[in-house]
Amino acid sequence: MKKFIAVAAAIASFGVVSAASAADLPRKAPAYSPPVMAPAFSWTGVYIGINGGWGWGDSTWTNRSNGINSGEFNVDGGLVGGTVGINYQFGSWVFGLESDLNASWIKGSQGGVFCGAPSSCQTENTWLGTARGRLGYAWDRWMLYATGGAAYGDLKMTPPAPDTFTARSTVGWTAGAGVEYAFAGPWSVKLEYLYVDLGKTACASITCSLAGGVDVDFKTSVIRGGINYRFTGF
């Protein structure tokens, strides 16, 4: 019996010492959990939008047979329309295609000998569209971009009274630049400048034909703002 008690006491003493030694051992550090980071903003997606602004430029009426012309005269007015486009972001670069169609009230007129003073020649752009590529560089929700491509529109050419106007569609080119900011979820706002050259088109009215054939050109600069909604997840 005395031997049993001595063995039990020895075992108990060993357990106490072992427990104390284990308590003194260094503890394993908890596994590292990196902080959860918000996903980086992406410009990738299809988008639609609206835009509006102001255009100003010049137009010239030129007699094809002798080169005599009206001289450049000013045109200006507002425009408003819709936009559709697609972006793909690769790193900080954003590649995209964009098209827009706008109702336009950009117009102007010129009197003088060529246009039959005191009457006038009037050029009016009634609608204007573009189909462009875009190349942008993004800083998170900010993006600067250059853009260029085709421009197309309708020119209403009104010679001196009593003749009536000619309306014709024409195609030219456009180039410009802008800045866009994504301010809330899929919404963004933009401000851009475009230079538009619709080239020359023929005024086909009776007066223009009697004059030996008249070409009308139209060039405008456009400043406009817009708001876009982007569809993500593709």
52-111 pLDDT per residue, tens: 999 999 999 998 888 888 889 999 999 999 999 999 999 999 999 999 999 999 999 988
Neighbouring-strand partners of residue 211: none
Q: How far apart are CA 173 and CA 181, in angstroms?
A: 26
3 C-beta neighbours (distance < 10 Å), count: 7
Q: Do the domain assignments include residue 127? A: yes
Please give the span between the terminal C-alpha atoms of the chain, in angstroms, as a whole number: 82
Q: Do the domain assignments include residue 11? A: no
Residue ranges making up the domain that contains 221? 45-231
Query: What SS3 class is residue 3?
Result: helix
pLDDT, tens digit only, all 234 positions of the chain = 454 344 344 434 444 444 444 445 456 656 656 655 556 789 999 999 999 999 999 999 998 888 888 889 999 999 999 999 999 999 999 999 999 999 999 999 988 777 766 678 899 999 999 999 999 999 999 999 999 999 999 999 988 877 778 899 999 999 999 999 999 889 999 999 999 999 999 988 877 877 778 999 999 999 999 999 999 765
Question: What's the CATH code of the domain at 223?
Answer: 2.40.160.20
Beta carbons within 8 Å of 229's beta carbon, 6+ residues apart: 47, 48, 49, 186, 187
Beta carbons within 8 Å of 139's beta carbon, 6+ residues apart: 92
Q: Do the domain assignments include residue 142? A: yes
Q: Do the domain assignments include residue 22? A: no
Q: Do the domain assignments include residue 215? A: yes
User: Measured on CA atoms in the order 150, 156, 159, 165, is the torsion positive or negative?
Assistant: positive
Q: Do the domain assignments include residue 167? A: yes
Please tell me the total count of domains within the chain. Answer: 1
pTM, full prediction = 0.81
Q: Do the domain assignments include residue 174? A: yes
Q: Do the domain assignments include residue 24? A: no
